[in-house]
Chain A
Amino acid sequence: MSQVTLEIDGTKVQAEEGMTILEAARSVGISIPTLCHHDQLEPYGACRICTVEIEGRGRTNLVAACLYPVEQGLVVRTRSERVDKTRKVLLELMLAHAPDAPEMQELAREYGADKDRFDKESSFCILCGLCVRYCAEVKKNNAVGFVDRGTRREIVFIPEIASEVCWDCKECFPLCPTEALQASFLLTRALMSPSPSGKPESEK
């Protein structure tokens, strides 16, 4: 792998070709906020909170740092008026779903996002896909997936698989930035086994 030099927030950074801006920044201790990123998973680019400003090929652009590959001579600004404003609105859009999630409250303070800017939505989930991707990529179980598209998109546990593998795993729980997963999972469990203990028939 050949090395490239780029500039992040005024600092010259050496990076390996094929790295993303996010990886290059973190390698020198420059932090870029993320919600849907996880080191063990393929970059996804859904929450867009890692949006940064780049200058390259003669123009200024906003890109997702978790996906954008480093280039020789690339100039990156992880904070700018445009970046901060974008992150603020993105947070406000997500806070309409999960106003009480600690991780997002912290980011909201940083970027001056108003959690009451938009009316509350019924689902807590921000569809970061961490549970879905962790289950698919790391656990190779595919017990939870997305259904539908657009504004109707949601996550759903597939009962046949979930009843087999979820009881002893639950590794996706701590990944969830909004705690929606627990609610959803508990609901699924409740629906699947009407017994008060919440345990499936086989475990009783």
Chain B
Amino acid sequence: MPRINSATELEKLRKGILSGRDPDRPCITLCSGTACHASGSTEVAASIEEEIKKQGLSDKVDFRRTGCHGFCEKGPIIVIHPEKICYLQIEPKDVPEIVSQTIKEKKVVERLLYTDPATNEKIVHESEIPFYRNQERVVFGSNGEIDPANIEDYLALGGYSGLAKAVSQMTPEQVLEEVKKSNLRGRGGGGFPAGRKWEECRNASGDTKYVIVNADEGDPGAYMDRSLLEGNPHSVLEGLTIGAYAIGAHEGYIYVRQEYPLAVENVGIAIEQAEEYGFLGENILGSGFDFRIKVHRGAGAFVSGESSALMTAIEGKVGEPRPKYIHTAIKGVRDRPSCLNNVETWATVPLIINKGADWFAGLGTEGSKGTKIFSLVGKVNNTGLVEVPMGITLKDIIYGLGGGIPGGKKFKAVQTGGPSGGCIPEEQLDMQVDFDQLAKAGSMMGSGGMIVMDEDTCMVDVARYFLDFLSGESCGKCVPCREGIRQMLKILTNITRGEGREGDIERLEELSEVTRDASLCALGKTAANPVLSTIRYFRDEYEAHIKEKRCPAYVCKELISYYIDPEKCQGCMICFRQCPAEAIIGGKNQIHVIDQEKCTKCGTCFEVCPARFDAVRKLSGEPVPPPVAEEAREITRKSEAK
């Protein structure tokens, strides 16, 4: 491929690609993101290739492995173009039918379509499925159209036109002004205005400056940056290059987790291709601007996602945060001005340059413009990645897109922002989601994790879980973070074990305050959020644990007991046989009794007791009733009694 030396040449190339593509030619796209890969898309891909060959369609149909489509709950996902027929949860055995029916006969295979649980109707097109219908997929939408290893797919959709516009029609100052005007805020955590950071870095003195992609996403349950980088790596490269042009940087880093192998691979391929086409390297698009990108693979420390720690890691040292009293935009990597944004932020930049700041600022709320990708996980029907305009309510996300809570359970809370975030209760479901509202509720946007929790979740246990995570992921350098987390975790563990003491809540609050006020970096400063937000909204649960030794959600093992209701037990032996601790006393047609001394509270009996009997109960905060006397355990059935 010859180098592209100007915006005009790029447009010519694009036209060439498009004219070589017949829009009516059938194309099977298969989601090959990590989640679909885990649910078997690689096997599906193999059988698609085989089937196309077998049915003699090799020159009549295209097959494309794309990035993540977002609806991970229902993966692997297939979308067939040009009709955009969407099939879900595809297995290799479905493929022959898809090819013979839909590709050859142009017939829809009904059984593979999405069924709307509300109306029981079958839905043919991806965009009409409720999960997608109310999304605004401006950043994430192309993922499903593009083979990440093929730059032509990105170019066909207008790829690199933002970069071409920036370097050929705009001065760096104008690019900067556009981003400032768009009010784009960093999507990686704190929501700092990207334009202000760029400007600070641009104005900082020094000849060598760096731009950096933070792809060290590490929040439990969050994977939007991963999916973007895996599925549409060129959008990130394009955004970064535009940023470098505005700031005056000629070197860039992509700091990506080694645990994201597909992202590492795809971004490497994308860089090679972009260099070949002249979108990276020397004299980009004939503009005279030079820019190179290096990939730096992270060694698996959560704290390295903190910007100063990430920069320390790039220098080859242990990824520990350093004080940011002087911003990293002025003194970052090797003490040089360094501008860091996360994957999603950079991927948004080409759109802003292409469509203009006013378009971007027209989306979202007063303080938070644009859209945001959230990973919607936990106790929600439709798990996956959703991109919505800022300002959408939590309710619309969880019930509208997410389809509500499975199993008829009651919603309890949604945890946003990862370990630095907080839990938001039902009363606040009408909250409009943006940077400021989430912060006001004691949580944060973070990188966009959203973990939905139902009534079976113990909020003290949730706080304990996150503090346990942080106790291993703090760098351990400063006292308030390391020791504050240590002591908070001890208190929380004691509470969940029924060893909570009067005053524990106040002790937690005091430790939270010091950890927040005195810690060196953002990890420590926000480490107490899971504790503070659960105390704020679920104080009664803390009190029940401490004062009544009761876990209202029946989660904390030390505080619950299993009990077989003698009125309901039918002596069926199912729990008796399955109890791994041999703690159930009973026999055929004998009321079963749990030996509380032997019971390990694994919950097997509760799980296996047939729903029609529903005889096993969890108890908490109350004594287990004494067992039925041995001689009274014989079960006389009504039918037998007659």
Contacts and interface: CB of A to CB of B under 8 A. Distances in A.
A150 interface: yes
Interface string B478-493: 1110111111011000
Interface in A44-96: 45-49, 51, 62-64, 67-69, 82, 85-86, 89-90, 93-94, 96
A151 interface: yes
A148 interface: yes
Contacts of B16: none
A60 B510 CA distance: 19
Contacts of B517: 51, 62, 82, 86
Contacts of B489: 151
A67 B518 CA distance: 13
Given A63-B325, A151-B471, A89 B478 contact: no
A62 B479 CA distance: 15
Interface in B303-332: 303, 318, 323, 325-326
Contacts of B475: 149-150, 153
Interface residues of B, number: 32
A118 interface: yes
A103 interface: no
Interface string B457-488: 00000000000001111111111101111110
A199 B472 CA distance: 37
B472 A149 contact: yes
Contacts of A47: 478-479
Contacts of A68: 323, 325
A26 interface: no
Given A68-B325, A86-B518, A151-B482, A93 B487 contact: yes
A149 B484 contact: no
B301 interface: yes
Interface of A: 45-49, 51, 62-64, 67-69, 82, 85-86, 89-90, 93-94, 96, 118-119, 121, 126-127, 129, 146, 148-153
Given A89-B511, A90-B480, A118-B487, A51 B473 contact: no
Which has the most chain B C-beta neighbours within 10 Å: A67, A82, A148?
A: A67
19 contacts: A46-B479, A47-B478, A48-B518, A62-B517, A67-B323, A82-B517, A85-B514, A89-B511, A90-B479, A90-B480, A90-B483, A119-B490, A129-B477, A146-B476, A148-B476, A149-B475, A150-B473, A151-B472, A153-B475
B482 A89 contact: no
A93 B471 contact: no
Contacts of B477: 46, 127, 129, 153
B18 interface: no
A48 B480 contact: yes
B482 A153 contact: yes
A69 B325 contact: yes
A45 B470 CA distance: 20
B520 interface: yes
B476 A127 contact: yes
Contact of A152 (B318, B472, B514): B472
A185 B318 CA distance: 24
Contacts of A49: 479
A45 B472 contact: no
Given A119-B490, A150-B485, A90 B476 contact: no
